[in-house]
Amino acid sequence: MTTIALRVNGSDVDVEADGAELLADVLRDRLGLYGTRLGCHEGVCGTCTVLLDGVPVRACLVLAGQADGATVTTVEGLAEGDDLSPLQAAFVEHGAAQCGYCTSGMLVAAAALLRDEPRPSEARIREALAGNICRCTGYVKVVDAVLAASGGGEE
């Protein structure tokens, strides 16, 4: 066991963890941030996407030790207090979530996209979300929601 220092969703935390533990397990089991979900444990489905120092990563491929000293943003860090973020609100408005299991990772990936590219095209959104598999929605409403949150797609 070792102490891992993280800044998670704006708060500094020291976590006792095995350095070889997955970041996903640290977030879920040690910090109770269950919004980060695991879909494949091998970095393919994108469901466990979090921001590590601002960069979208698969939390199932990052070891706790690698994250020491890093800033982490999970789905729980996206809402603005009691209010959903505009991106989250757009997901509600467009019915972009179904079972919700992939949604956390989808939101985190989309939030990173909109931060870096505030007005992405539909093709760019599809490309940016291509690392996140959804089995329920066929992506149509997800893409619509991200477009709407970017202020695009209003015409």
Partner 1 sequence: MTEAGVPSAGRGEGGLSGIGTSVRRLEDPRILRGASEYVDDVPAADALHVALVRSQYGHARLAGIRTEAAARMPGVAAVVTGEDLGPANGPFAHPTWFDARPALKAAIDAMLQPEVIRLLAVERARFAGEPIVAVVADDRYRAEDAARLVEVDYEPLPAIVDPERAEDAGAPLVNPDWGTNRAGHFRVMKGNPEAAFRGADVVVRGRFTIPRQTGAPIEARGVVARPDRRTGGLTVWSSTQAPHWLRDALVASLGLAENQLRVIAPDVGGGFGVKSMVYPEELLVCLLARRLGRAVKWIDTRTEHFLSSIQSRSQRHDVELALRTDGTILGLRDRYLVDAGVSNVEALVVPYNTTAHLQGTYRIPALEVECTIVVTNKAPLSAYRGAGRPEAVFAMERILDRAARALALDPVELRRRNTITADEMPFDAGILYRDGNPLVLDGGDYVACLDRAVEEIGVNAFRRDQAAAREAGRYLGFGVATYVEGTGVGPYEIARVTVEPSGGVVVTVALPSQGQGHQTTLAQLVAAQLGIPLERIRVVQGDTLALAYGGGTIASRTAVVVGNAVHEAARIVRERALALAADALEASVTDLRLEDGRAVVAGSPDRGISLGALARRVAPGVGRLDDSRALALEAQAAFEPQTVTFANGVHAAIVEVDPATGFVRVIRYVVVHDCGRVINPMIVDGQVVGGVAQGIGGALLEQLLYDEGGQLLGGSYMDYGMPRATDLPPIEVVHLETASTRNPLGFKGVGEAGTIAAGPAIAAAVEDALAPFGVSVDAYPLTPEVVHRLAGAGARSGPA
Residues that bind partner 1 (CB under 8 A): 18, 21, 28-29, 33-42, 44-45, 47, 74-76, 78-79, 84, 88, 91-93, 95, 97-104, 107, 125-127, 129-143
Report the nearest approach of partner 1 to the CB of residue 3 (Å): 19
If the CB atoms of residues 69 and 122 are measured against partner 1, the closer one turns out to be: 122
Report the nearest approach of partner 1 to the CB of residue 71 (Å): 18
Helices (H), 26-139: 86-94, 103-116, 122-128
Q: In angstroms, how far is CA 118 from the centroid of its own chain?
A: 17
Report the nearest approach of partner 1 to the CB of residue 12 (Å): 20
Place of tokens 């490309």: 127
Report the nearest approach of partner 1 to the CB of residue 68 (Å): 19
User: How many other CB atoms are there within 10 angstroms of residue 119's CB atom?
Assistant: 10
Closest C-alpha among 108, 37, 110 to residue 73 = 108
If the CB atoms of residues 103 and 150 are measured against partner 1, the closer one turns out to be: 103
If the CB atoms of residues 69 and 95 are measured against partner 1, the closer one turns out to be: 95
Please work out, in degrees rounded to the nearest 5, the angle formed at the alpha carbon of residue 58 by the alpha carbons of 52 and 61: 105
User: d(Cα 37, Cα 33) in Å, to the nearest integer?
Assistant: 9
If the CB atoms of residues 54 and 100 are measured against partner 1, the closer one turns out to be: 100
131 Cβ neighbours under 8 A, 6+ residues apart? 46, 49, 56, 109
If the CB atoms of residues 5 and 92 are measured against partner 1, the closer one turns out to be: 92
Report the nearest approach of partner 1 to the CB of residue 49 (Å): 12
